[in-house]
Amino acid sequence: MEGDTAWVACSHTERAHEMEAPHVHGHHHGDGHTHTHEHHHATAAVDFTPDYSRQTRLRDVGVSGQAKLAAARVLVIGAGGLGVPVISYLAGAGVGTLGIVDHDVLDASNLHRQVMYDARDVGQRKVDLAARRVAALNPTVQVQTYGEPLTAQTALDVFAQYDLVVECTDDLASRYLANDAAVLTGTPLVLASVYQYEGQLQVVTAVPGEPCLRCLWPQPPAAGLAGSCVESGVLGPVPGVLGTMQAMEALKLLLGLPRPTDHALQLVNLLDGASQRLPIDAAAGCALHGGCVAVARQAMEQAQSEGEIERHFRHLDEAIAAGYAVVDVREPDEIAAAPLHVTSLRIPSGQIAACSLAGIDRHVLLVCASGKRSAQAARTLRQRGVDAWSLAGGVAALELPASS
């Protein structure tokens, strides 16, 4: 209002001090120490000491808050568009232990939004790339990697090892599993999702009486109803913004910073900049069916009884030899770009619920790009009594057929 714009630069409070001090190559430990970023990663890993002075200067953080972060254990499910900013900011903030769950390999189509990686990383496992990036960014952070998706059999044990979970996949089944595991273990959970230019954010506190994901939507929608980035497209900054918001919510929970007292689903539209909060009434959700814990326990027990839904094959010829009928649930343009080299039935995932597979009297193996849509479609078919399975990792996990 008075014409002073210097406040927008967070470095201005240090400007006088930094002008007095000569530029130093190396590290001086203690308050106000300076360091350069010209070292190679190998050197930095040996003698780098993190400088958290910009955040410890915040009165709500300070030394005690930084100690809380150093002692914290956070699990991040998904190292993609949402997970990249979450992992980066939590590692940069000094969270002591990060667990990272991801079974995908990096595809060239990921790079426009997953900016923690680069073109040289295509084809490598994201979980390994993310761990490597954390080590380069902040060598003091301990990383635990999980190269396979969590299941109803493993989720509870894994969640119990962490103080907080951030769910960053575009897989609805993973989101619901994370919700149920969070409620049953009392572990706070930060959820987010994106669709084209929009995003949603919800914090599940896992406190008895406070709402969870199932209070909003008791059951996952039918396969294909909720579009993925593969089907619907997305601009890179959209998951970047929502993932950054997830990281902020995680840090607020870990540090005990002020948060809204209401329980709401936050909606963000990045085209017009609009943001709104839709209240969630726990009394109108799971409370009608015994409460969040009872609903989550029932869902978890059902998922455990179903057992695994994936089948692992390196070549689809192996699946056919094992007696599976292959059903390709990708969209026509995806199939045209990367056709399967075996005979298959083609049914887009969004139509799977309405299709009759009565003529197929054997196991059904559903195939999509990464295994996410096919897994949800398999669950839908199982509810109709079809012996349906999903190809683990999708087309991306198949080995290319040998050229003749």
**Structure confidence by residue, pLDDT tens digits, 293-323:** 999 999 999 888 766 788 888 889 888 988 8
If we measure between CA atoms, which residue out of 230, 42, 64 comes closest to residue 135? 42
Does the fold of domain 310-397 match that of domain 52-306? no
Give the model confidence (pLDDT) of 333-387 as tens digits.
Answer: 999 988 988 888 898 888 887 777 766 777 899 999 888 788 888 888 887 888 8
Where does residue 238 fall: left (phi above 0), alpha (psi -120 to 50 degrees), or beta otherwise?
Answer: alpha
If we measure between CA atoms, which residue out of 392, 224, 241, 261 comes closest to residue 324? 392
SS3 call for 57: coil
Instruction: Tell me the domain boundaries of the chain.
Output: 6-46, 52-306, 310-397
Query: Can you name the residues that pair with 310 across neighbouring β-strands?
Result: 390
- pTM, whole model, 2 decimals? 0.74
Contact 246/190 with Cβ under 8 angstroms?
Answer: yes
- Which pair of structure tokens corresponds to residue 63? 């030394």
Length of the chain: 404
Average pLDDT, the chain: 84
Rg (CA), the chain: 23
- CA 193/CA 197 separation, integer angstroms: 11
Contact 172/201 with Cβ under 8 angstroms?
Answer: no
Class of the 310-397 domain? alpha beta
Contact 117/79 with Cβ under 8 angstroms?
Answer: no
The answer to whether domain 52-306 has CATH 3.40.50.720 is yes
Instruction: Return the pLDDT at 88.
Output: 97
